[in-house]
Structure 1
Amino acid sequence: MATLKIYQTDNHIKSKHLSLGEKFGNKNLTKRETEVLKYVVLGYTAKKIGKILEISFRTVEAYINNLKIKLCCTYKNNIAEIIIKNGLIHDLKLFD
């Protein structure tokens, strides 16, 4: 089961990382990958995510590619399915 972990990365800066658990090789998602993942699960396009996060859509596409690698899937559309099937959806806290 995935867990949301807080890591101290500096004396005062904390980043939220989503731990994917053993099924995915205990990989962690970065804070930005986790942010992008939330919007992907909600069905947003890379362009829309880029506007929301104030980054280029190409950068968003790079994060999506990282997510596909870490989640062992080929298509962006599979990301949400994998997140739901593996019980990771609650850890994303989509509506906080």
Structure 2
Amino acid sequence: MSTIFDLGGKVAIVTGANTGIGQAIALSLAAAGADIAAVGRTPAEETVEKVRALGREAEIVSADLSSIEPVQRVVDETIAKLGGLDI
């Protein structure tokens, strides 16, 4: 897939990455070179597999974002698992 965006070396958090728009965003960012922290209440196993098939790193970060309580943990876990956070 050709893209005008180069996100190589970047790490992105994508919420709702399990299905629909969230999954499409995760896959588009990965196609542009970003590694993905797939965040949601339901583990985004299919999304992670597809991101990895694109040659990018991907990790599941489980969180219920109906409140802001888990936000700092999501950031900390993303940095711990993927080495940074850019997007």
TM-score, normalised relative to structure 1 = 0.30
Larger Rg: 1
TM-score normalised to the size of structure 2? 0.32
Q: Which has the higher contact order (CA 8 A, sep 6+)?
A: 2
Q: In proportion to residue count, which structure has more helix?
A: 1
